[in-house]
C-alpha cells in the first residue's frame, strides 16, 4: 500500500524556515478524479516564492493555509490517468506540493504540463532552465523588455537559476550583459562560465563604483530579482526611457515589511517598469521551452543545478536560496 508523506504548514515561520514549522504526516495517496492524473513526485522545485506563500501578506496567490500541504512546483511521474493524452510513466510539471502523491489537472499556467520527450535532456533541466526559471528569464528578456543588440542589460541575483538564464538569453539577443551576484567566486563565474561581459560582487564595499566602471554607457534594461539597496544602485545607472523587468525581490521575502523605494529616480529617467509573473505566461511557455531546450542542447546556454536529497529536507533547503548557498536551480529529490 503506497504511503503519501505530506509536509503541512503548522504555523507561519519567522525568518528562517525549519522542519519544526511543519507537521510530517503519512496518509493514503489522494483519490483520482475524472480529467486528472495521479502523479508521484520525483523532484521539487525550491523557489523563493515558497517563502512568500508561507506568509499572510498580500501576494499573487493566496497564502498557504495553516494545516495545508506546503505548495510547490514539482516534476512528477504519472502513476494513473483519467485524462486523455496522459498515461502512466509520463513526466509532468505541476503544483505537486511537498508530498509524495498529488492529483494534477490542466488549468492555469502552472496546473499541469507535459515534459516534452525526445529532447535528450535530464529531467532536472525541466524544473530549472527549461522549466519555470528559464521561462521566467525568457519572458522578462524577450517578452517584457524586448532586449536587442542595442541594449546594455543588468541582471541581479545573476548566478541563480532565473538570473543566469536571463543574462545568457540577453547575450543570445546580442546585448552587452552585466550581472550582480554575492561574492568574488560567483562574480567570476558569471564571466567565465555564463559568458556575461562583466560580473560584479555586491558583497564588496564598492558596488556603486563597480557598477559605474562596468556601465560606461549606462543601463538600458534592468532584469531585477533582488529589490532594496541593490535595485536602487541599479536604477541609479539607468538611461532615460530604460526598461525594468521586475521579476522578483528576494531581499525582502524573509522579513515582514515590504520595500520602501523613492520613485523620483524612475520618474526623472522616464523608466518603463513592468512586474511580471509566470502565472500569466501559459501561452508563451511551449515556445519558450522549445527555444531554451535548443539553446541548452547547442551549448548556447549553460545551466547548473544544486540537488538536496529527501522530502523532509525541503524546509532547510529553502534557506539556501536566502544564504546564496545554491548555484543555478535548487531542487529537492523526493523519489
Ligand atoms: N516573476 C516570476 O514569475 C518569477 C519566477 C521565478 C522566480 N522569480 C524571482 O526570481 C528571483 C530568483 O529566483 P530563483 O528561483 O532563480 O532563485 P536563485 O536566483 O537561484 O536563488 C536566489 C539567489 O538570490 C540571491 N540572494 C538571496 N538573498 C539576497 C539578498 N538579500 N540580496 C541579494 N541577493 C540575494 C542569492 O545569490 P547570491 O549568492 O548572489 O546572493 C541566491 O542564490 C527571485 O526574486 C524570485 O522571486 C520570479
Closest ligand 1 atom to Cα of 133 = 6
pLDDT at 254: 85
Contact present, 24 and 332 (Cβ < 8 Å)? no
Per-residue pLDDT of 21-68, as tens digits, reads 999 999 999 999 999 999 999 999 999 999 999 999 989 999 999 999
Determine the angle formed by the axes of helices 285-297 and 161-172, rounding to 10 degrees. Answer: 80
> Residue 65 gets which letter from DSSP?
P
How far is the centre of ligand 1, averaged over its atoms, from the C-alpha of 321 (Å)? 7
Report the pocket of ligand 1 as residue ranges, CB < 6 Å.
47-49, 132-133, 136, 157, 159-163, 181-182, 186, 225-226, 230, 247-251, 276-278, 321-322, 324, 326, 330
- Note the pLDDT tens digit of each residue in 176-220: 999 999 999 999 999 999 999 999 999 999 999 999 999 999 999
Assign residue 20 a region: left if phi > 0, alpha if psi is -120 to 50, beta otherwise? Answer: alpha
Instruction: Please say whether the beta carbons of 135 and 278 come within 8 A.
Output: yes
Give the Cα separation of 237 and 216 in Å (integer).
Answer: 9
pLDDT, residue 34, reads 97
Cα 296 to middle of ligand 1, angstroms: 21
Q: What is the pLDDT of residues 246-300, one digit of tens each?
A: 999 999 998 765 667 889 999 999 999 999 999 999 889 889 999 999 999 999 9
Mutate to test the pocket of ligand 1, among 245, 248, 307 (most ligand atoms within 8 A of CB): 248
Query: In which band, very low, low, confident or very high, does the pLDDT at 119 lie, cut at 50, 70 and 90?
Result: confident
Cell of 113: 504540463
Query: Tell me, what's the pLDDT at 258?
Result: 64
Amino acid at each position: 500500500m503506497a504511503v503519501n508523506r505530506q509536509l503541512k504548514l503548522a504555523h507561519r515561520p519567522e525568518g528562517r524556515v525549519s522542519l519544526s514549522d511543519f507537521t510530517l504526516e503519512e496518509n493514503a495517496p489522494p483519490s483520482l478524479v475524472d480529467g486528472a492524473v495521479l502523479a508521484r513526485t520525483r523532484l521539487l522545485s525550491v523557489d523563493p516564492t515558497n517563502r512568500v506563500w508561507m506568509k499572510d501578506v498580500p501576494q499573487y496567490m493566496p497564502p498557504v493555509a495553516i494545516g495545508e500541504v506546503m505548495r510547490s512546483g514539482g516534476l512528477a511521474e504519472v502513476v494513473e490517468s483519467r485524462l486523455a493524452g496522459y498515461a502512466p510513466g509520463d513526466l509532468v510539471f505541476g503544483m505537486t506540493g511537498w508530498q509524495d502523491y498529488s492529483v494534477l489537472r490542466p488549468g492555469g499556467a502552472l496546473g499541469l504540463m507535459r515534459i516534452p520527450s525526445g529532447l535528450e535532456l535530464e529531467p532536472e533541466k525541466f524544473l530549472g532552465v527549461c522549466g519555470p526559471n528559464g521561462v521566467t528569464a525568457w519572458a522578462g528578456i524577450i517578452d517584457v523588455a524586448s532586449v536587442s543588440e542595442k541594449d546594455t542589460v543588468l541582471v541581479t541575483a545573476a548566478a541563480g537559476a532565473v538570473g543566469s538564464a536571463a543574462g545568457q538569453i540577453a547575450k543570445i539577443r546580442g546585448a552587452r550583459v552585466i550581472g550582480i551576484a554575492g561574492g568574488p567566486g560567483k562574480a567570476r563565474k558569471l564571466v567565465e562560465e555564463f559568458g556575461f561581459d562583466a560580473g560584479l560582487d555586491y558583497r564588496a564595499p564598492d558596488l556603486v563604483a563597480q557598477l559605474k566602471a562596468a556601465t560606461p554607457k549606462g543601463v538600458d534594461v534592468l532584469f531585477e530579482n533582488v529589490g532594496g539597496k541593490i535595485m536602487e544602485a541599479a536604477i541609479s545607472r539607468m538611461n532615460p526611457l530604460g526598461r525594468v523587468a521586475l521579476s522578483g525581490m528576494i531581499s525582502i521575502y524573509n522579513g515582514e515589511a515590504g520595500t520602501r523605494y523613492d520613485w523620483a529616480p524612475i520618474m526623472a529617467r522616464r523608466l518603463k517598469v513592468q512586474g511580471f509573473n509566470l502565472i500569466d505566461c501559459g501561452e508563451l511557455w511551449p515556445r519558450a521551452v522549445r527555444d531554451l531546450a535548443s539553446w541548452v542542447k547547442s551549448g548556447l546556454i549553460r545551466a547548473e543545478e544544486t540537488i538536496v536529497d529527501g522530502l523532509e529536507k525541503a524546509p532547510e533547503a529553502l534557506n539556501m536560496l536566502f544564504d546564496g548557498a545554491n548555484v543555478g536551480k535548487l531542487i529537492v529529490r523526493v523519489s
